[in-house]
Amino acid sequence: MSSSAQDAIPQLNLGNTFGALFIGVVLAAVLFGLTNVQAFIYFQAHKSAAGITFFKLVVTWLWIFDALHLALTVHCVYYYLVTNYANFGVLTEIVWSLKLQLVINIFIIPMVHLLYVHRIWKVSKGRSRVLPAIALCIVVVLSSGVAIPLVWAQYKVNLFKDLVGIEWSTYLSLGAATFVDFLIASSLCYLLATSRTGFSSTDSFITKLVGYTISTGCLTSVCSMSIIITCAVMPTTFIFIGLQFLVTKLYVNSFIAFLNARYYMQANVIINSPQFYERHGVYHPELHISASQDEEFQKSQKDPEDEVLHTAQPIQTAMP
């Protein structure tokens, strides 16, 4: 056992160190289960699409990298708490899977950001695309400029106690990710808000989509800010590492759920429309109508369908 490891042993508290890692990997597994549900819903909603589409590949790749990230975090916790149980010399060292999961983390977050920028590009179709171009440049610069020094700093560290010396990498990477989240959410909200047509149904859809965009952006930003705060306030604990296990899952879930938002919203509109009840054989014995009234009724039945198609139009530009 090295002298540096012996110095770190008396200060080791399993509760807020490896206990935090264990809780983090359990919550990460729960979020991966939600990823499976979201991916299943997406493929079921788009099973009628012929062939392999771009976003089907995107969802598949996100799921693969998310599963790989979970496998690495599980190996990390198993290595410390099972394979090297009570081996305090090993508990002070950083295992390879903990470093590699950070690489997956750094790969997934910029990938999701770029996919959101692609959505902004689609929503701004027919308008000035200066805003999406600026957003894309900022994402690329921040992603490449932050990821390289972060990976380099993390792979130079071999002991947990040395993580205190590279706190700047955590602040830089997550601070940049939070800023990009804010930029993307603001851009999407602005473009959607300026897409209002004056029709109550369309504006209602857009309002719901804006609220959903804000909530998903806030979720990932709050998690990133929590990591920064816990790293600054409690640098000798592993609570911030446990939270890092979750942030990747939140990004994957938020984007796939964003793709599924059209499915959820259209389903609600169709279920609430009068045509839904007619198709499912709902009988209304109190309705006794004449021939002229029946013509008016048939004419009115076309409105809900038209309304569904009309209100879905802004959603189609924001989601595939």
**Does some domain include residue 5?**
no
Of 310 and 69, the structure prediction assigns the larger pLDDT to 69
**Does some domain include residue 282?**
no
Of 1 and 173, the structure prediction assigns the larger pLDDT to 173
**Does some domain include residue 283?**
no
pLDDT digits (tens, 9 = 90+) for 34-61: 999 999 999 988 887 777 888 899 999 9
Q: Work out the burial of residue 275: count CB atoms within 10 Å of its CB; fewer than 13 is exposed, 13-18 middle, 19 or more buried.
A: middle
Domain extent, residue 194, equals: 11-276+301-318
Tally of domains in the chain: 1
Q: Would you state the pLDDT for residue 268?
A: 52
CATH code, domain carrying 146: 1.20.1070
Distances (CA, A) of 85 to 5, 94, 245: 16, 15, 22
**Does some domain include residue 292?**
no
**Does some domain include residue 285?**
no
| Euclidean distance between CA atoms 25 and 240, whole angstroms | 12
**Does some domain include residue 155?**
yes
Q: Would you state the pLDDT for residue 266?
A: 60
| Dihedrals phi, psi of 15, to nearest 5 degrees | -65, -50
**Does some domain include residue 136?**
yes
Three-class secondary structure assignment of 103-137: HHHHHHHHHHHHHHHHHHHHHCCCCCCHHHHHHHH
**Does some domain include residue 287?**
no
Q: Model pTM? A: 0.77
Question: In this model, does residue 28 exceed pLDDT 50?
Answer: yes
